[in-house]
Amino acid sequence: MDAGTAAASASATAMFSGGHSAGNGVIPGMEKLYSFADGGAHRAVEDMRALVARCRTVELPHAAGEPADTAAFAIAEGPRLGDESLVVQAAVTGGGQGAAGGTQHADATVVRVGNALVVISSVLTLTPEEAGTVAGFMPTAVAQVVSDHPEPVGGKS
């Protein structure tokens, strides 16, 4: 998700997991917060849209002799949060061991709030329903960005 975010003046990343996946494991995800100079966050969102428009599919090569995986990307409408939003959807179809011959999905939900971007992403091993669970954290993440009194991580205020 770093396309378009290279011009960020600051960023922070948090990994999280919880709930139960279809395989009785936990559902992992990642939240990234980027801060930009005036207009930079909007340009970053535009850059993401343009990159996905130019690179709809990408070959992911493996070691010699193994068929390559193919990653396909699309932009979907994001949640009705912040100033603008989108979802970058990725589907990796495996010819090699990466997706074991099947298709795996991962989403990155991006919400712009002023000069900040909040990005919550899932990992390829999740089902589409589990990826949706990860994206469900976005309203809380955006509320923390716009709050005058955000909750401390792992604690009470």
Q: Tens-of-pLDDT digits for all 157 residues of the chain? A: 455 556 788 888 877 776 666 666 677 788 899 999 999 999 999 999 999 999 999 988 877 777 788 899 999 999 999 999 999 998 888 765 444 557 888 889 999 999 999 999 887 767 777 777 777 878 888 888 887 666 655 555 4
| Neighbour count for residue 153 (Cβ, 10 Å) | 8
- Predicted pLDDT of residue 98: 47
- Predicted pLDDT of residue 94: 78
Residue 2 CA, distance from chain mean position? 10
- Predicted pLDDT of residue 24: 63
Domain assignment present for 26: yes
Number of domains in the chain: 1
Domain assignment present for 151: no
CATH of the domain at 67: 3.40.1000
Domain assignment present for 2: no
Domain assignment present for 33: yes
- Predicted pLDDT of residue 100: 53
Domain assignment present for 43: yes
Q: Which residues of 46-78 are buried (b: 16+ CB within 10 A; e: fewer)?
A: eebeeebeeeeeeeeeeeeeeeebbbebeeeeb
Domain assignment present for 130: no
Domain span including residue 113:
10-125
Domain assignment present for 118: yes
Whole-angstrom CA distances from 39 to 7, 17, 29, 111 are 11, 32, 28, 14
